[in-house]
Structure 1
Amino acid sequence: MENKAIQNPTPEPILTPVQVSEPKDKFPVIYLVLSLFILLLLASTGFLYYQNIQLKNMLASYQTQSTVSPTPAIYQSPIPSTTADPTANWKTYTNKDLDYTIKLPSQFFIDERGCPNNLHFTFSSTTTPPAGLLDIYINVPAQCSSENQCLTNLMTSYRGAQSAGSKALFNQISTTIAGKMANGIEYWDPGINEGGTVIPSNLTYEYFINNNGKVLDFQFVINKYQNIDEAKTQKVFVDQILSTFKFTN
């Protein structure tokens, strides 16, 4: 009889039970929302209370200011200008044909030459400005019908003289006469002294202005000055005369 080997049985592993912990309950969301709402309500209440205090302070300050009588303003009359009008004592010349007036010093001699539309005013003095001789011409030009055409013709004439060898200088200028813009020419003729022929130098300011369809030509001729800078010192006198010119229509 054969002997069979006895096999020991393999022991079965012992399983240890694992304890699973149950999750804890989370903080309810509704509590968080309520907390934020309460904080917002408290902040709003505090802000409204602060605004109420500020408003009360402003009202109290306004009532205090309204009870104080204002200081009366002291009116000071304007100080009159002490600058004398250099034309105050000048004589007024009236031209009814061309509807204008102009003031001139009493030293001026008026030469109407038998035609009221071509006036010649001559002023000469050796003791008061201008030291030389000033001639004023107020004419109605016959060669042009508008101030622009008159100015163009005059500039063309001066350019032609320069091309022929004249040493004269001219510049286009403008001023205001009787509240109207007037364009014109500043013309310097240095004069000549050749072969016994003497033509004195002169500085001319010439302007054109239109009044109701009539063109007036103003010429201010400053004579007997050796150079243009000396002659230009009398431009102030010319401007004073022009400031008195007025249309009467």
Structure 2
Amino acid sequence: MDNVGVQSIEQPIAPVPPVPKKSNGLVWVLVVLVVFLSAVTVFFLWQNMQLRQQLAVMVQPVVTPSPSPSDSDGIADWKTYKNDVLGIEFKYPPEYSLDYSSNSFKEGDTVSILVPAPIKNAGGKVGETNIILLTVAKPVLSSLSLVEWLKGSVYSSYPGKFVVNKRLAGQDTVDVFDCGEGCFTYLFTKHEEKVYGVVYRSDVYDEKGLLQKNIDQILSTFKFTE
């Protein structure tokens, strides 16, 4: 059968839709996010390191040098007593004087420190005298321990108790208290087979407490020079 008279009908070709281009926006967002997180991480690591360094500095002990007696509490201008034969040295206020004729210790005295004190005579007039504030004994040779020496000495009969302190040149001292005609504190220590003694008045009093303060400062400057 012939195809005469049959017209061919061409089907229209549907247009191919364009392929959308892939957007790079998401990639850039991810890149920026990674960079930001990295920067934050580095910042916190750096901050943590700084805090560790600051803490390390804070916990380090701070050593403050103790002022020496010569440059503290206004005693830089004090006079110095030094006895090279007996090997002792101490400082005392310039307004005080020294006496070498006192007799406070049975073993004999080396030197006494005198302090001026006001007195009233029978007529009510105010004058001035010197009283012994502190006396340093002559050292005594002994092979005994300090406590054994004291037990065999006249000081063992004193009613006061023996108290161990560190009040002379940083060494152990035994304090003996006695109240008879006034109250006194005896300090004894031993250095290189010698017993050293110091006695001072325990009943000194002045309104400002300067006498007791000066006694403590004098004792703090005591040292052995041998």
TM class by smaller structure: 0.5 to 0.7
- The normalised TM-score by structure 1 is 0.49
User: Unpaired segments of 5 or more residues in structure 1?
Assistant: 1-57, 159-168, 190-200, 223-227
User: Match for 1:175 among 150, 165, 168?
Assistant: 165
| Bigger radius of gyration | 1
Paired residue for 1:218?
198
CA distance in 2, matches of 1:90, 1:144: 35
Q: Deviations over 1:189-219 (max 9, x none)?
A: 1xxxxxxxxxxx3221111111111111112
Query: 1:245: which partner in 2?
Result: 222
Change over 3 Å in CA distance of 1:67–1:181 after alignment to 2: closer
Aligned partners of 2:169 and 2:224 also within 8 Å? yes
| 1:103 alignment partner, one of 91, 99, 103 | 91
Query: Quick check: 1:173–1:185 contact (8 Å CA) kept in 2?
Result: yes
Separation of aligned partners in 1, 2:131 and 2:74 = 19
Describe how 1:33-72 pairs up with structure 2 within 5 A: 62-66=41-45, 70=50
Amino acid at match of 1:109: S
- 1:44 maps to which residue? none
Amino acid at match of 2:92: L
1:187 aligns with 2:178: yes
**For the Cα contact (< 8 Å) 1:112–1:120, is it kept in 2?**
yes
Report the count of equivalent residues. Answer: 157
- Residues in 2 aligned to 1:156 and 1:92: alpha-carbon distance in whole angstroms: 32
Give unmatched runs, 5+ long, in structure 2: 1-36, 58-62, 102-107, 119-129
Residue 170 of structure 1: SS of its match in structure 2?
A: coil
* Counterpart check, 1:87 vs 2:75: yes
Preserved contact between residue 182 and residue 201 of structure 2 (Cα < 8 Å): yes
Share of identical aligned residues, percent? 22
Equivalent position amino acid for 1:247 in 2: F
**How much has 1:145 moved relative to structure 2?**
4.6
Q: Deviations over 1:110-142 (max 9, x none)?
A: 3345xxx84122312236xxx964141322247
| 2:156 counterpart of 1:156 | yes
Contact 1:95 1:101 (C-alpha < 8 Å) held by counterparts:
yes
RMSD of aligned alpha carbons: 4.3
Who is 2:137 aligned against? 138
Is the alpha carbon distance of 1:235 and 1:154 closer, same or farther for their aligned partners in structure 2, counting shifts above 3 Å?
farther
**Aligned position for 2:182:** 202
Task: Give the SS at the match of 2:161.
Answer: strand
* Partner AA of 2:114 in structure 1: F
TM superposition shift of 1:70: 5.0
Query: Structure 1 residues 142, 248: closer, same or farther in 2, change over 3 A?
Result: closer
